[in-house]
Structure 1
Amino acid sequence: MRSSRGFIRHSVWCLVFVWSWRVAAAQDQQAPKTDPVEAVALNTILRRWGKQASSEWNVSGDLCSGFAADKNDWDHYPNINPFIKCDCTFSNNTLCHITKLRVNKLDVVGQIPSELQNLTRLENLALGFNPLSGPLPKELGNLTNLISLGISLNNFTGGLPEELGNLTKLKQFLASDNGFTGKIPDYLGSMTNLEEMRIGDIVNGISPLALISNLTSLNTLILRNCKIYGDLGAVDFSMFEKLSLLFLGNNNLAGRLPDGTSSSLKAMNLVANNFLLGSTSNSNTSTRGSDNTIYEADPANLGAATYYVTGQTRWGVSSVGHYFRATDAKNIIYSSQNFNNVVDSKLFETGRVSPSSLRYYGLGLENGNYTVLLRFAEIAFPDSQTWLSLGRRVFDIYIQGALKEKDFDIRKTAGGKSFSVVNRSFMVTVSKNFLEIHLFWADFTPTVRNGIPKSESKVGIIAGISVGAIVLVLAALFGVFTLLKKRRALAYQKEELYYLVGQPDVFNYAELKLATDNFSSQNILGEGGFGPVYKQYFVHAQNIHVTNLAGSLNLDWVTRFEIILGIASGLTYLHEESSVRIVHRDIKASNVLLDTDLTPKISDFGLAKLYDEKQTHVSTRIAGTLGYLAPEYAMRGHLSEKADVFAFGVVMLETVAGRPNTNNSLEENKIYLLEWAWGMYDKDQALEIVDPTIKDFDKDEAFRVINVALLCTQGSPHQRPPMSRVVAMLTRDVDAPKVVTKPSYITEWQLRGGGNNGNTSNSYAGSSYQP
Structure 2
Amino acid sequence: MKGMTRLMLRSCNLSGPIPAHISEMTPLQILDLSFNRLEGKVPDFEGLAYLQSLFLTSNLLNGPIPDWIKSRDSRYQIDLSYNNFSESSAPPTCRETLNLFESFSGQNNLTLGRECLQTYPCSKDRYSLHINCGGSATTIGNIEYEGDQNQAGPAKFVPNIASWGFSSSGSFWDVNSTSDQYIANNVSILRMNNSELFTSARLSPLSLTYYARCLANGNYTVKLYFAEIVFRDNKSFYSLGRRIFDVYIQEKLALKNFDVENAAQGVDKVVVREFKAIVRNKVLQIRFHWAGKGTTGAPERGTYGPLISAISVESDFSPPNDDKKIFIIVGAVVSVLLLIFMILGILMWKIYIGGRISREKELRGLDLQTGFFTYRQIKAATDNFDVANKIGEGGFGSVYKGILLDGTIIAVKKLSSKSNQGNREFVNEIGMISALQHPNLVRLYGCCVEGNQLFLVYEYMENNSLARALFGPEEYRLELDWATRQKICIGIARGLAFLHEGSTLRIVHRDIKTTNVLLDTDLSPKISDFGLAKLDEEEKTHISTRVAGTIGYMAPEYALWGYLTYKADVYSFGVVALELVAGKNNMKYRPNEDYVCLLDWAFVLMQKGNLMELVDSKLGSEFNEEAVRMIKVAVLCTNSSPALRPAMSAVVSMLEGRTAVNELITDPSIFGEELRFKAFRHPFDVISEADSLIQSLDST
- The TM-score bracket by the shorter chain reads 0.3 to 0.5
Question: Which structure ranks higher in relative contact order (CA pairs < 8 Å, sequence separation ≥ 6)?
Answer: 2
- Of structures 1 and 2, the larger Rg is shown by 2
TM superposition score normalised by structure 1: 0.32
